[in-house]
Chains A and B, each alone.
Chain A
Amino acid sequence: NAGVTQTPKFQVLKTGQSMTLQCAQDMNHEYMSWYRQDPGMGLRLIHYSVGAGITDQGEVPNGYNVSRSTTEDFPLRLLSAAPSQTSVYFCASSQGRSYNEQFFGPGTRLTVL
């Protein structure tokens, strides 16, 4: 199993550009989520999904869109990049039952100029 994979590993954007961060898992996990990590602030939830076709907002959803058309994939779209979105983005997944460990992907380091 590859676990949770994310692409790209690094990305530089100009203000106003759009892009999609990819996340995939091969563990048949129902629950997937996106976090951003900023220095000194821990990880903050952007969006999450409890299954294919179901998504919801987290703590900091503004400027981001998600969709979940398959169990495996959960892409994160930046609609119009802003310097405030410079961060490290982590995707995570867990099995459908409660209290299960969330497995994190390797992260994408995004810089918006």
Chain B
Amino acid sequence: GENVEQHPSTLSVQEGDSAVIKCTYSDSASNYFPWYKQELGKRPQLIIDIRSNVGEKKDQRIAVTLNKTAKHFSLHITETQPEDSAVYFCAASRGDTGRRALTFGSGTRLQVQP
């Protein structure tokens, strides 16, 4: 089955700096890669996703890049703000199959220092 590894497990940045979180996956058939943000005690919420037919996607201060050859993808947050502090999870799935199950990374706790 799919295995997703995520680094780093914790990340502390100063407000205004950029943050980068990296994930690798093992199943070359995976073709859908979402990123979720989870605040303390809350449910995971989708912040951005990318399909395997594109290499990069941006949404305001958030971007995701995908390298299918190397089987890794990354989340980039620019101009970080204190409200970006949360746990971020990457995930991978074979989105075009009936199973459509997400395999999650172990999470990155991002702390943005004011």
The finding on whether chains A and B are genuine partners in a shared complex, rather than unrelated, reads yes
Interface residues in chain A, defined as those with a beta carbon under 8 Å from any beta carbon in chain B: 31, 33, 35, 40-45, 48, 50, 56, 58-59, 90, 94, 98-99, 101-102, 104-107
Q: Give Cα distance in the complex from A46 to B90, angstroms.
A: 18
Q: Give Cα distance in the complex from A56 to B49, angstroms.
A: 25
Q: Name the residue of chain B whose CB is nearest to the CB of A102.
A: B102
- A45 proximity list for chain B (CB < 8 A): 101-103
- A42 proximity list for chain B (CB < 8 A): 4, 6, 89, 104-107
> Using a CB-CB cutoff of 8 Å, which residues 17-58 of chain B contact chain A?
32, 34, 42-46, 49, 51
Verify B32–A98 contact, CB threshold 8 A: yes
Least distance between B72 CB and chain A CB atoms (Å): 17
Verify B101–A33 contact, CB threshold 8 A: yes
The tally of residues in B whose CB lies under 8 Å from a CB in A reads: 27
Verify A90–B43 contact, CB threshold 8 A: yes
- B95 proximity list for chain A (CB < 8 A): 98-99
**Other 15 A-B pairs with CB < 8 A, given A50-B99, A50-B100:** A31-B100, A35-B104, A40-B107, A42-B4, A44-B104, A45-B101, A48-B100, A90-B43, A90-B44, A98-B95, A98-B100, A99-B49, A101-B34, A101-B46, A106-B43
Q: Name the residue of chain A whose CB is nearest to the CB of B31.
A: A99
Q: Give Cα distance in the complex from A75 to B89, angstroms.
A: 25
Verify B32–A58 contact, CB threshold 8 A: no
